[in-house]
Structure 1
């Protein structure tokens, strides 16, 4: 679904009727001068600051928050703070507060994390969120410090550009050295293959009984040298590979949130209806977090690129139980889809659907998932585009994180 404009939170969901909400909107969180002093302090902070009460109602909305989310403070006072969140956090937020008040278990409070937020116009953007608990004049509330990760300083952009240029030069240099080494290593067996094949062909032009034995011997040597070339490539691949994955117990939801925030950076999520539907019962996975995050990030970026020219942009990440030992993850988009002949070779190296693409991204994804004993495949999505599916091992009871 697409969220455009101001979407008021259902007051029944937070147990607050219209009259109670209006009282919250007009009644100060603090008395008189203290309220003014607190707001003056909050407004000096360049990042967004949002103060809410125990019911999740917004009680103070800084100027930085107005600029970040596109709402005036008067529009949001008394509204549930979940109006600033995309699904599924929007629907689950009140439950998070009730759980904390009942158990004092800190799942988010005091712990900064990267996640996503929703602008007034419906766009989703990445943020760094920190939440603290406050008590002023005996009144308990929560304050959120929000930094928009899409807002980069010019110097930081220039630094990133310089780093990208250096990384590009490094890759070109490394690939040049790699190509030289590979050519040197493969030259001898490939030359031998050609020589033995030519010799066998010449012997078979006017075959004699004694020539057939020589031709057979030449073909055997040809096969031996071809196997040798294959072993050279295999050894080189082992050298480049990181080897066995360093697995630890990780939260699939956390990995997805952080990868989503990175994918939606720099406005790439503009106009995209993005949602997640992750099954918390299969959240704990035994993986190399960086590698799995790279897979999710790669698939999300591919989906965003595929949807650039379509009018309706819909993207989702979902998870469900695959079997007793694995979780099934899907990344689905509403792009133009894939031709069957392309899908058959999509995970092969140097096979790309992008103009100028190297065709190694999905090949790397395949290698990572395979190294985790999982599998990856592609199908048409329910949105009319493409759905990438992969499986990851679940963390079993008794396993410990490294």
Structure 2
């Protein structure tokens, strides 16, 4: 009988939480109508939808009142939110120069590549060996080309290493240069406090399934001074920025998951850091030369990117899976790729480190017993692999 699986891939997606599931069930029964309909059931669905929108905005540090409130556009998830931000804000700016970093998620990196192919100039900021985007390069670009740049987009936290990026400082630099700033905060929302209005960003992307919310729904926060050019066309929903029938159940599930993730966040972070550090110590000791990437910088408490020199990351992940531990080689959107991680390459790491890097990510449902069990299983895998390597005769 296969071992009970231990899920350590929460950066890819998280299990649906009970509060989110109940909110979706309730809204699905009580707010089933089209929120755009004028009849009573439609108005009820609209109330549930807008109530969820306001709660989410408040929880993410947005301004919901006054003459210039922030806005939340519901989307299908992080990829769509990033596409609307990059394509929409760049088009609205009337400029054709985009700044991203070399460590972005594939949904940003691939969109930037496509825009470049369509004639835009794309500048890609490098990173330090600790995985932090180089703000000195951003300062220089803004100083020399600020009048040409239509958008700067930097992730808030790395999906691979968990390293936190200086987005508040980046937003300040962009604001001073008169350039809109967008951040992909898919890995940060639900894990750390979000202060959208005080950070000064023009736009912020996130997705519910990274914090125990439903798959298929995310959002793009927008400051009042920016309006992206729509990338879809049809109805008038959401100021025509994202036409299509809105889902009150998905919005309710997102709001409930975010409320749960916000409650007790500090205690959860402390618990996950303790478990992650225990896990890292054991695995690093079980493989000669193993290193924790990004460990010397500020990083998310639940993320651990470990490199095992001399190993192949794909082979390791398969061996771990056979032992009943689920993890990954990096972003789920690039999972299975034989190409080295662009993020780790941008950090200037040696090839043997990049090729042996595996990402483990804990979550709200991870227990100490699971971590202890995972340590036993994975160190056993390491012992077996090392024994096989020693026993294998050299080829002639």
TM-score band by shorter chain is under 0.3
| Structure-2-length-normalised TM-score | 0.21
TM-score, normalised with respect to structure 1: 0.20
Task: Answer 1 or 2: higher relative contact order, Cα 8 Å, separation at least 6.
Answer: 2
**Structure with the higher strand share, 1 or 2:** 1
